Chains A and B, each alone.
Chain A
Amino acid sequence: MTIMRPQDILLPTADGLCCKPGGFHIDPIRPVERALITHGHSDHARAGHGAVLATQETLDMMRLRYGENFAGSTQVISYGEELRLGDVKVKFRPAGHVLGSAQIAVTAKDTCIVASGDYKDAPDPTCAPFELVPCDVFITEATFGLPVFRHGDAALEVKKLLASVALFPERAHLVGAYSLGKAQRVIALLRKAGYDAPIYLHGAMEKITAYYQSRGIDLGELRPAMGMKKAALAGTITLAPPSATSDIWARRFPDPVTAFASGWMRVRARARQGGVELPLVISDHADWDGLTATIAATGAGEIWVTHGQEDALVHWCKTQGLRARPLDLVGYGDEEESEPQPRSEAEA
């Protein structure tokens, strides 16, 4: 009998994380025969795979973005449901990142590896909360893998936004937020804070936001920003993709206050680079405390660290007596919060 090593179960390849005994890839960056997708962000969920296994929401989001024929075939899996694929068993568990996001637990013989995708352990009214999955090997993201990233309570950041709206009633507030997940979370947090005026949307986020609403997430009254008179936008809040807030598009707003909801806003230089006037530290990724607490709680003895600040997290794991290594996967972090985005000039 041969002993199964973790890397016999999951192996980083040029196409992404590959499970040979199961015959599939997780979040592959190039078209493959069979893909398991953790969540709907475009750097994880790409079009052109033969077969795709994901949660209902993730599949719906891929359909919204890529059209009906984004994959040869699709299969829905629910949180907690177990499937056998080849020689392994897989289970999807909530990752708390965005609506429909999942960690994927892959078990072969007695070894369980959890590929957590992107995750956060902070509360989010727009998606199922992160579930801790005990495992032997935990694959963690490290987007905010430096101890300077501590995200705090998102509700306080929203309070900051509302205080600014009260202080500058004649100006428009333009909140840059990623279209999938962050925008809806910010809206939900605004509603939770008692803000019940209509919230305006950039055209690029109307479809995905309507999808969130169709899944029963209450976001209150939303209106397209398009076609509004400049003066009528005074004192309002508009959500837009980050690239749009410094674009020609922003000129339709009266003296806009440019906000940006992102974990990167914790660092001043980063906020200033993007011309942000009101940084809002709201992240859909675990912060340093979240990453380290989660790693410890999984009970895993081996940690694989991917996309982000791998060095610091690997170093930390080692100081805790855990085996750890960077995975060096490429191609992730392109949509969500990795870098301030290249600015698109498209009028949308």
Chain B
Amino acid sequence: MNRFAELLDRLAYEPGRNNKLRLLQGYFREVGDPDRGYALAALTGALSFKHAKPVLIRDLIASRTDEVLFGLSYDYVGDLSETVALMWPKAVLPAHNNPPPPTLTEVVTTLRTLGKTELPKQLERWLDELDETGRWALLKLVTGAMRIGISARLAKTAAAALGDKDPHEVELLWPGLSPPYLDLFAWLEGRAEKPVNRDPAPFRPVMLAHAIEDSDFASLDPADYIAEWKWDGIRVQAVAGRDEHGQITARLYSRTGEDITGSFPDLVPSLRLPGAIDGELLILREGRVQSFNVLQQRLNRKIVSPKLIKDFPIHLRAYDLLGDDENDLRELPFAERRERLETFIGKLDDPRLDLSPTIPFASWDALTAARADPASAGAGEDADAVEGVMLKRRDAPYLPGRPKGQWWKWKRDPHIIDAVLMYAQRGHGKRSSYYSDYTFGVWTETDNGEELVPVGKAYFGFTDEELLQIDRFVRRNTTEKFGPVRHVVHEGDKGLVLEVAFEGLQRSPRHKSGVAMRFPRISRLRWDKPPREADRLETLEKMLKADESLPTIKVAASADGH
């Protein structure tokens, strides 16, 4: 347990992805079975036991320490598990009688079978046996609040690296595996055959698209591509397969492989043919696709009530077929998969599923026109739910990840304004010595005359070279410092103008300006422009009105399926 705690501790502080991988790999290499398997399970969220409630932890510490001292300590540290881990008093035991600290395996297997009434005593014993970091990790584990900035994907990638395997291979096997993953590690270390995935409806790692740039078109031939609408819903994979008894099992996965079937029970009966569909989850009312805002109201609900199902009828718009019955289609060119998909959807003949139509086009100009006016280019009444077009190479196999030059997404033009840099804050990790988080504002008339009002914050979009330039500017033009925040000069003739691109606008009473941007990023530095010529709040208000009359502007957030 202490070694696992050490790993968690180190991971919690390490900002870099590659460095996190190194730490994880080091752990998997160094630690034997079954501990490392349970660690992998803990990091991928695959452990299941009843979590301890905070009140139980509070009771434990109250029985061991002075109430006032605990209060002062908790107040200072701010985190219950950490406070308890740090101040837990050493048990007075004769030295030769000290039991060794529990292993992770012991903790996990015990927690699985432990009755509720036995938990406090058991926790107390473990807290006595572990050191500070061990106690912290234990409490995080039992309360189910790990939060150390590790994705399940990263943990699997680190495990895969143990055997020089592609993480996708592990991903493919994953649904059929269970902790402590002895068969997985045996295969990764070359001691056994690859485990067989017996899951009848496994997830397949998804293929992603690159954002296309104007300059890309020159080298692309329209004849090589099939175009589709880019829908503003959620990318999902709907998989159905037969188990050993011949029964159909159907599952819905998010693009990251999370099983979200439970949230959409109304779609399951429609997935009655064995196969794996790649598509967009949408809400359809009277045959019309609803905006993402509507879909959002159905997401992340703990309870899926009959009313929710009725008011937000779910729909799957299919654009690719990865598996047809027993056959893996992923090696086939997209054009062939598309034909198979059309047949498959036809055979299924279900109102909850339909085909995402292709957009006929002969030239890039024609596609540009279609993208500008989806309604008259085939999207019809659903045009409002189109957030751009997708371009897919006819001969592209289905490749996991984001392979170059196969799939392109071509979104609608983002909004752009010129704003003035007002405040800057240091970044994190590699950027911790740079001022890389920028708050920018636009002009407005107030009682005090012309003033800049903050309208957003951006921390990407610029090149490394531009980062250096802005950083230098910030350091040389700081007017005040507040902790990590620097006030940067922003007057009519002194300051830096940033061209900010963003996806959309929303009214926001939380912001002084009354508007909030979606996905703002720095698109250009306007050293040439004096701050007084930057945009005004009225410009944003006009954009906002335009957005509101046109409910299609995207919430790209979780919606950006491609």
Residues of A within 8 A of B (CB): 146-150, 152, 164, 167-168, 246-248, 250-251, 255, 258, 266-269, 271-272, 275-279, 309, 311-312, 315-316, 319, 345
Contacts and interface: CB of A to CB of B under 8 A. Distances in A.
A167 B68 contact: no
Contacts of A272: 13
A266 B79 CA distance: 13
Interface string B17-58: 001001100100000000000000000000000000000000
A281 to B, nearest CB: 9
Given A167-B23, A268-B12, A150 B86 contact: yes
A168 B13 contact: no
Contacts of B77: 148, 267, 269
Contact of A250 (B16, B65, B433): B433
Given A147-B89, A150-B86, 6 more contacts: A146-B69, A146-B72, A146-B73, A147-B87, A255-B16, A267-B77
Majority DSSP secondary structure for residues of B touching A: helix
Contacts of B10: 164, 278
A148 B19 contact: no
6 contacts: A147-B73, A148-B73, A268-B82, A269-B79, A271-B13, A312-B73
Contact of A277 (B15, B26, B87, B131): B15
The 9 closest A-B pairs by CB, nearest first: A148-B86, A147-B87, A275-B432, A148-B73, A312-B72, A148-B87, A277-B13, A146-B73, A246-B432
Nearest to A148: B86
Contact of B69 (A147, A247, A250, A251): A147
A8 to B, nearest CB: 32
B475 to A, nearest CB: 7
Contacts of B86: 147-150, 266-267
A269 B132 CA distance: 15
Contacts of A316: 66, 69
Contact of A168 (B22, B69, B475): B22
A306 B15 CA distance: 37
Contacts of B79: 268-269
Nearest to A258: B432
Interface centre among A266, A275, A279 (most CB of B within 10 A): A275
B287 interface: no
Contact of B76 (A167, A255, A267, A276): A267
A259 B69 CA distance: 30
B426 interface: yes
Contacts, number: 79
A150 B66 contact: no
A148 B88 CA distance: 8
Nearest to A146: B73
Interface of B: 10, 12-16, 19, 22-23, 26, 65-66, 68-69, 72-73, 76-79, 82-83, 86-87, 89, 131-132, 426, 428-430, 432-433, 475
Contacts of A152: 131-132
Given A147-B69, A148-B83, A268-B82, A167 B26 contact: yes
A315 B69 contact: yes
A167 B428 contact: no
Contacts of A319: 66
Contacts of B430: 255
Given A148-B83, A150-B132, A279 B76 contact: no
A267 B82 contact: yes
Contact of B72 (A255, A268, A309): A309
Nearest to A318: B68
A245 B243 CA distance: 57
Contacts of B82: 267-268
B428 A146 contact: no
B132 A275 contact: no
A159 B526 CA distance: 50
Contacts of A268: 12, 79, 82
A251 B475 CA distance: 15
A167 B22 contact: yes
A214 B65 CA distance: 47
A260 to B, nearest CB: 10
A311 B71 CA distance: 11
B531 to A, nearest CB: 25
Contacts of A266: 86, 132
B433 A312 contact: no
A312 to B, nearest CB: 5
A168 B19 contact: yes
Given A312-B69, A315-B69, A345-B475, A269 B432 contact: no
B58 to A, nearest CB: 15
A315 B69 CA distance: 8
Contacts of A255: 16, 430
Most buried by A among B16, B26, B82, B86: B86
Q: Most chain-A Cβ atoms within 10 A of its Cβ — which of B68, B72, B428, B430?
A: B72
Contacts of B69: 146-147, 312, 315-316
Contact of B14 (A248, A269, A271, A277): A277
Contacts of A251: 433
Q: Which of A168, A268, A279, A319 has the most CB of B within 10 A?
A: A268
Nearest to B471: A248
Give the one of A152, A277, A278, A311 with max B CB within 10 A.
A277
Contacts of A345: 475
A311 B86 CA distance: 18
Contacts of B76: 146, 148, 267, 309
Contact of B13 (A248, A250, A279): A279
B465 to A, nearest CB: 14
Contacts of B89: 147
A315 B72 CA distance: 10
Contacts of A312: 68-69, 72-73
A270 to B, nearest CB: 9
B492 to A, nearest CB: 28
A163 to B, nearest CB: 9
A156 to B, nearest CB: 9
Contacts of A311: 72
Given A147-B87, A167-B22, A277-B15, A269 B433 contact: no
Contacts of B16: 255
Nearest to A249: B433
B433 A248 contact: yes
A240 to B, nearest CB: 12
Contacts of A279: 13
Nearest to A273: B484
Given A148-B83, A269-B77, A275-B428, A246 B433 contact: yes
A152 B131 CA distance: 10
A168 B16 CA distance: 12
Contacts of A164: 10
Contacts of A267: 76-77, 82, 86
Nearest to B72: A312
Contact of A275 (B65, B73, B426): B426
Contacts of A150: 86-87, 132
Contacts of A271: 13
B68 to A, nearest CB: 5
B57 to A, nearest CB: 15
